Amino acid sequence: MNIKEKHYTYMKLPIIIYSDKIIKYTSLSKKTAGKSIYPFIILKERYKTDPIYILRAPKVIRHETIHFHQHQDLIIPFLMAILYGIDYIFKLFTNNFDPYIAYHENAFEREAFENQYDTEYIKTRKKFSWFKYFLRNLK
């Protein structure tokens, strides 16, 4: 392994934790199903215990794994979270301060939502894929 390869050695998969408490204390919305706090993915406990939610878990895990890779694209810890916040605030200002629209228009969320049903996406995803969603919004 040469130096360049070493520098870009990433974790292939996030560490999954099921915790209602972490979700509660780190989320503004009560509807939050899961969240990506690199290198972890935190899911509500019902995704492990409730048969109906267990069926939905793979989609949520894929969505949060896309965020995990977005974090890895930016190497510097928390840079993705900072860019996410800036884009969210920008989308608030450009969408009549509607938090629902601002969340769904966020470049990082759009990449995750558009690809959360695609079981092959993580394997074929190119680095910095979220960047095109940034550009597409700035019309």
- Which residues form the interface with Zn ion (CB under 5 A)? 109, 112
> Closest distance between Zn ion and the C-beta of residue 103, in Å?
8
Rank residues 19 and 27 by Cβ distance to Zn ion and give the closer one: 27
Which residue is nearest to Zn ion, using beta carbons? 112
Rank residues 13 and 66 by Cβ distance to Zn ion and give the closer one: 66
Rank residues 18 and 113 by Cβ distance to Zn ion and give the closer one: 113
Q: What is the DSSP string of the chain?
A: --HHHHHT---SSPEEEE-HHHHHHH-S-TT--EEEETTEEEE-THHHH-HHHHHHHHHHHHHHHHHHHHHHHT-STTHHHHHHHHHHHHHHHHTTT-HHHHHHHSHHHHHHHHHTT-TTHHHHPPTTTTHHHHHHH--
> Closest distance between Zn ion and the C-beta of residue 108, in Å?
7
Rank residues 29 and 49 by Cβ distance to Zn ion and give the closer one: 29
